Amino acid sequence: MIKGNIILNNCVRVKRLSWFTKNRGKIPGFSLVEIMVCISLFVLVAGLLVANISFLDRCLVRSEVDRIFNTIKYLQQRAVVSGKKQILHFDKENNTYTYGNKTGGNKICKLSKNVKFGIIPEIKGPPSAPKKVVQSPITFKGENIVFHPDGIITSGTVYITDSKKKYFMLLVAVFHRFHISENTPINKSGFKLNDG
């Protein structure tokens, strides 16, 4: 009887092994290659997502700078055409800027929630000769840009950054012209001005 059980057990083992060799490719599960491909795709998608988030922050800052730049051009032209002084006031605590509209009231514009008036620590200015560390994001006297009827505007700079302070741009006013400059925190001292 004992010999019969051993033979029986050997037959069962042979049957199990033959089933395994026949169905080798049909066993459920993942191969190492499949897992590596999935991990690689996951890392690739995560890398692209991080790059796009950084790109979106830069686009938000650029959009706000363009909006302020257009407001400045509008107020400068309005001062010349109307023959009256126009004022653009910045409020860095509330991230807003205000100017008088045609009906006599004030128009208040708020920056996007991920953008603010701010500077990156240890950035040097003014842009024309960066020697001193910038202390305030708005260097216009009284945080106002004054537009005179003869086209002259007060001189100064407005620094705008994203909420993480990874990217910034600035608007520079000199006599009657404005310039826009954009930099990343890696290049803190050299400003390339673009005519606006």
Residue spans per domain, the chain: 38-195
Structure confidence at residue 96 (pLDDT): 93
Q: How far apart are CA 108 and CA 101, in angstroms?
A: 10
Q: How far apart are CA 195 and CA 180, in angstroms?
A: 7
Q: What mean pLDDT is predicted for residues 119-135?
A: 79
Q: What mean pLDDT is predicted for residues 86-92?
A: 92
Which pLDDT band holds residue 91 (cuts at 50, 70, 90)? very high
Nearest alpha-carbon partner for 109 in 147, 65, 77: 65
What CATH architecture does domain 38-195 belong to? 3-Layer(bab) Sandwich (3.55)
**Partners of 97 in the β-ladder:** 90, 109
- What are the pLDDT digits (tens) for 48-63? 877 666 777 788 888 8
